[in-house]
Amino acid sequence: MWAQAERSSDILLSKHKAKSLGLDADMMVRTKANPTLLRNARVIDVLDGEHLARASVVIEGDRITSLGRGNDVSVPEGAVSVDLEGMTIIPGLIDSHLHLWGLNSDRVIDELLMVPDGVRLIRTTQRLHRLLEAGYTTVKDCGGINALQIKRAIAEGTIEGPRVIAAGYFLSQTFGHGDFFHFLPMEMVDARRTRGGSNLTCDGVAECSKAARYALREGADFIKISTSGGVMSERDRSEHVQFTSEEVRAMVRVAQNAGTFVTAHCHSAEGMHMSVDAGVHTIDHALYPDPEVIEKAKKKEVVFVSTLSIMKRYNEGGVAAGYPEWAVRKSRMAWEKAIANIRAIYNSGALLAAGTDFLDSPLMQMGTNALELELLVEFCGLSPLDALRAGTFNGAKACGLGERIGALRTGMTADIVVCKKDPLKDIRYLQKPDMVRMVLKEGRTVLNRGPAPKPV
């Protein structure tokens, strides 16, 4: 089946994988909630841009089972009703690129090396509520072993948090972007033999295949690779190409054979051509694409993931926070081109999803992730609706969950956010601390600051 999936957006995580994330999960032990009727709200359809005024949404189990204007919905026996007069309903937000690293300072390398993994893991679990409070019901963690533990604890209901789609490991060539600890001896930089990092260093088809299989063995939902240099790697440049096309094809093959996909960190046009030709599903960051690769990616429905937020934070507060001077310099140099190129991707009609690349540190705290939507509107020409689509429906595609979440449609998983004000009037509303009044994830209310439910 996978060999026949010609278009990248056909790529969906297998049913088995989705179940391990809590989706369609009949094996989870949870108290069954009453059916819920959310009524009297403005409902935003991110697919066709239609607003339903004074509309109702019915949720039974983990699904949206009815949706319509006024009371034009079928309400099951025993339902509770919530009157959302004046409020707006949007799909649960999705951050398509972040890292749940549990950092207490922005001296990232020091923290990764010196704070035990378990301590950082506990810190992250204490902060997950911030994502839910900001309306994020799904996040894609693009490298970091914390996420492998957290996603399981959330999916089984032990802790509350957004659904986590986890790479766990980050596959990088020797002298590649993931080789953060290049100052250590070679035998100490690979996550299979050291602590603190998530880098798997691999060179050649055999090693790359093996590293991809190792990531899957440890619980990865998808494979994260680096096909160019980057901002946070001292010695390479974003324009450099990393891995060879044979190596990328091998890793894509391993992923597809296991019912999943590859996400590529990539800035350079040449690296993007190689990645798209090899069949990767998403191109993340995408600072320097050329028009040809944007067209090629669009045809194959590859998803581009913007991560302007990390650059904005580096550029404005990176030096004071303790980031290396070279990283801030690289980021500042790239900003103008980055926004022009994300704008070009958007204008081409290629799929664009919103990430932040936030590292779960003081400068890049979870909960302010809707900054990316603001930046897409302010700098890249997206309408608020298109930005919201990048942070919901297109994000679902980037996560391989495109048919299950990311829109408010009958039959889809009920990941729902109730906002005090309409974010299409001002996308910055989504960053205000009291804006999100209610969050449902898989049909369960995981945050409720709104009106109390009453029997129908």
- Sites of contact with Zn ion (CB under 5 A): 142, 357
In the complex with Zn ion, which residue's Cβ is closer, 60 or 357?
357
Length of the chain: 456
Place of tokens 């090629």: 296
Smallest distance, Å, CB 257 to Zn ion? 25
Rounded to an integer, what distance in angstroms lies between the CA atom of residue 145 and that of residue 392?
25
Smallest distance, Å, CB 99 to Zn ion? 6
Smallest distance, Å, CB 26 to Zn ion? 34
In the complex with Zn ion, which residue's Cβ is closer, 142 or 311?
142
Q: Which helix (H) or strand (E) holds 286?
A: strand 282-288
Smallest distance, Å, CB 275 to Zn ion? 15
In the complex with Zn ion, which residue's Cβ is closer, 149 or 233?
233
Smallest distance, Å, CB 245 to Zn ion? 23
The set of residues, in sequence order, having a beta carbon less than 8 Å from that of 450 and lying 6+ positions away, is 82, 84, 87, 418, 437, 438
Smallest distance, Å, CB 287 to Zn ion? 13
Residues 171/155/146/318 CA torsion (nearest 10 deg): 90
Q: What is the 3-state secondary structure (H, E, C) of 232-269?
A: CCCCCCCCCECCCHHHHHHHHHHHHHCCCCEEEEEEEH
In the complex with Zn ion, which residue's Cβ is closer, 62 or 95?
95
Q: How many CA atoms lie within 13 A of 428 on its CB side?
A: 2
Smallest distance, Å, CB 88 to Zn ion? 31
Q: Which helix (H) or strand (E) holds 223?
A: strand 223-226
Two tokens at 320? 């004071």
Rounded to an integer, what distance in angstroms lies between the CA atom of residue 282 and that of residue 275?
9
Closest residue to Zn ion in the complex (CB): 357
In the complex with Zn ion, which residue's Cβ is closer, 357 or 415?
357
In the complex with Zn ion, which residue's Cβ is closer, 62 or 357?
357
In the complex with Zn ion, which residue's Cβ is closer, 117 or 357?
357
Amino acid of residue 327: A
